[in-house]
Structure 1
């Protein structure tokens, strides 16, 4: 059994890490993560600010046991599901093709 840790293989991985394709992949991934995080944490920050400084707003009844605060929490769950679905589509259409191309270039000599 041989190992794959030869200096030539290490150099190949370093070259891929420094390549423009890999940097574009990281840039696209990080841009999505940044905007999704800003939107979601902004939503939660808004909820915390409203609950802290305007608690009577969250206590307003909407019918039955439902109030604005509970609706806010339920919408947060829906928000997580929506962001996850959007990320899956983004990854499938933008990230996966680029990562498959990088992988094919990297493993081209090994196949």
Structure 2
């Protein structure tokens, strides 16, 4: 098959998917999840950094033995990262993947035309 014909068919398929209402909805759902969670995590991270710089007495407060608040906050950074990843995985499986699968099927149908 001629390369120009393939490119034209691919371009039409991409445009059809891009113009679909499901594509707009997919982008909206993705942004509605990612933006608030990114802001929340960055706020949490910057609070941790700020406390380490300017609230040293608070961060040096011993909790149990040699474990202080700074160490707990540092470990919670890792925990929060994994929690957000797990929440995103569940959200994507329920809200994003069905739309993406439909758009993929639409793309494949359009390419065959």
Query: TM-score, structure 1 length as denominator?
Result: 0.88
Deviation at 1:6, TM superposition (A): 3.0
Question: Which residue of structure 2 lines up, in the alignment, with residue 7 of structure 1?
Answer: 8
Give the aligned partner of residue 53 of structure 2: 52
**SS of structure 2 residue aligned to 1:62:** strand
Q: 1 or 2, which has the higher helix percentage?
A: 2
Question: Aligned pairs, how many?
Answer: 111
More divergent stretch after superposition (25-34 vs 3-12)? 3-12
TM-score normalised by the chain length of structure 2: 0.87
Q: Are 1:27 and 2:28 matched, yes or no?
A: yes
Range 81-90 or range 25-34, more displaced: 25-34
Q: How far apart, in 2, do the equivalents of 1:31 and 1:107 lie?
A: 27
| Distance in 2, Cα, partners of 1:98 & 1:59 | 48
Query: Which sections of structure 2, spanning at least 5 residues, go unmatched?
Result: none
CA distance in 1, matches of 2:2, 2:74: 54
- How far is the alpha carbon of 1:108 from its aligned partner? 2.5
Query: 2:106 corresponds to which residue?
Result: 105
Match of 2:96 in 1: 95
Q: Say yes or no: does 1:39 pair with 2:37.
A: no
C-alpha distance in 2 between matches for 1:8 and 1:44: 46
Aligned alpha-carbon RMSD (Å)? 1.9
- 1:2 CA displacement: 5.9
Q: SS of the counterpart of 2:6? A: coil
Q: Which runs of 5+ in 1 are unaligned?
A: none
Tell which deviates more after alignment, 10-19 or 60-69: 10-19
Highest relative contact order (Cα 8 Å, sep 6+), 1 or 2? 2
